[in-house]
């Protein structure tokens, strides 16, 4: 991808975020007697930035398949809410114990631990409430399939399981296969939902296989880049503490393969992901550029 394409993608992402964020915020009340603290904290979490990568992939794939915009937008809000909840809980002292997220104080530092737990719970349940609503899709069957996928990708056989393995990894050295499995669950599962949701929304279940494969490569390449930023990036651009994994003695794909091999591996994953979009020709150009951005980004 040329230099111009890279700045175009950054411009496109900024434009997307500003529109998407307004929509995201519209789901959370600004003020209400008695519940102000909860809503203030929820609004804080969704207003302090974030790249919005999961929503953007969901919406770009939806556009490619021709899904009605209001359906994909609501589903994209749901996956971002799940992602935000996971970050709030991950930052808590009982988990990663972080003070900085998206360049701002973490939720529990800005408010307190109990509020952060409730914020996570409320963001998570709101995600399911949005998908379950008829406005997301007129077919109850399709809404149920989406709810099941979202639960699977975020719950005990998806992200939560991955997070548990990650906690175990603090005490036990994992090998490369175990780390790949951990990352597939912890990070990859939400990307999988983002990439296959439109197959449900458009009732094109046959396409799930291709987009699952696409998401597998995307999620893994994203994680490798995340690990590389942890060792090569700077705290200001990344917006969170760096060198976290090495300080905790945690193995990552990068620590096991070395920076160069890990980089090569991520490039191969992205090359193969982009190849899966070939049947869509020029219509998929922006999605291809976004896919490439996953490993060229610096935050």
Q: Which residues bind ligand GRG (CB under 6 A)?
A: 50-51, 53, 83, 86-87, 89-90, 102, 159-160, 163, 186-187, 226
Shortest Cβ 50–ligand GRG spacing (Å): 3
Shortest Cβ 289–ligand GRG spacing (Å): 17
Shortest Cβ 58–ligand GRG spacing (Å): 13
CB 253 within 8 A of CB 181: no
Nearest to 45 by CA among 31, 74, 24, 15: 24
Q: Which residues make Cβ contacts (< 8 Å) with residue 179, sequence separation at least 6?
A: 169, 251, 252, 253, 256
Token output for 56: 């953007």
Region for residue 69 given its phi and psi (left: phi exceeds 0; alpha: psi -120 to 50; beta: otherwise): alpha
Residue with tokens 């929509």: 23
Judged by CB, which is closer to ligand GRG: 90, or 137? 90
Shortest Cβ 60–ligand GRG spacing (Å): 15
Q: Is the dihedral angle over the CA atoms 292, 294, 297, 298 positive or is it negative?
A: negative
Judged by CB, which is closer to ligand GRG: 159, or 197? 159
Judged by CB, which is closer to ligand GRG: 90, or 292? 90
CA–CA gap between residue 78 and residue 149 (Å, rounded): 12
Shortest Cβ 154–ligand GRG spacing (Å): 8
Q: What is the per-residue burial (b if ≥16 Cβ within 10 Å, else e) of 60-76? A: bbbbbbebeeebbbbbb
Judged by CB, which is closer to ligand GRG: 106, or 187? 187
E strands, the chain, are 100-101, 104-105
Judged by CB, which is closer to ligand GRG: 198, or 219? 219
Shortest Cβ 141–ligand GRG spacing (Å): 28
Nearest to 54 by CA among 265, 288, 222, 295: 222
Judged by CB, which is closer to ligand GRG: 202, or 226? 226
Q: Which residues make Cβ contacts (< 8 Å) with residue 269, sequence separation at least 6?
A: 217, 218, 220, 221, 224
Judged by CB, which is closer to ligand GRG: 239, or 284? 239
Shortest Cβ 190–ligand GRG spacing (Å): 7
């Amino acid at each position: 991808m040329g230099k111009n394409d890279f700045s175009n993608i950054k411009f496109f992402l900024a434009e997307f975020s500003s529109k998407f964020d307004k929509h995201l915020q519209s789901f959370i009340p600004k003020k209400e007697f008695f519940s102000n603290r909860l809503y203030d904290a929820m609004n804080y979490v969704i207003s302090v930035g974030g790249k919005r990568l999961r929503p953007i992939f969901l919406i770009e794939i939806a556009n490619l398949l021709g899904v009605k915009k209001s359906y994909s937008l609501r589903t994209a809000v749901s996956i971002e809410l799940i992602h935000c909840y996971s970050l709030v809980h991950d930052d808590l002292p009982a988990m990663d114990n972080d003070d900085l997220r998206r360049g701002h104080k973490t939720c529990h530092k800005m408010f307190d631990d109990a509020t952060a737990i409730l914020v996570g719970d409320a963001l998570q349940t709101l995600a399911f409430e949005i998908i379950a609503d008829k406005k997301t899709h007129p077919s109850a069957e399709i809404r149920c399939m989406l709810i099941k996928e979202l639960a699977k990708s975020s719950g005990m056989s998806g992200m939560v399981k991955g997070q548990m393995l990650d906690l175990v990894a603090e005490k036990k050295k994992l090998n490369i296969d175990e780390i790949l499995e951990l990352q597939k669950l912890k990070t990859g599962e939400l990307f999988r939902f983002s990439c296959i949701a439109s197959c449900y929304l458009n009732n094109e279940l046959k396409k799930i296989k291709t987009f699952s494969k696409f998401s597998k490569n995307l999620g893994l390449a994203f994680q490798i880049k995340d690990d590389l930023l942890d060792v090569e990036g700077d705290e200001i651009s990344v917006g969170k503490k760096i060198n976290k994994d090495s300080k905790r003695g945690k193995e990552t794909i990068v620590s096991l393969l070395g920076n160069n091999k890990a980089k090569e591996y991520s490039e191969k994953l992205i090359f193969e992901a982009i190849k899966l979009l070939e049947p869509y020709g020029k219509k998929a150009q922006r999605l291809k550029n976004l896919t490439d951005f996953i490993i060229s980004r610096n935050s």
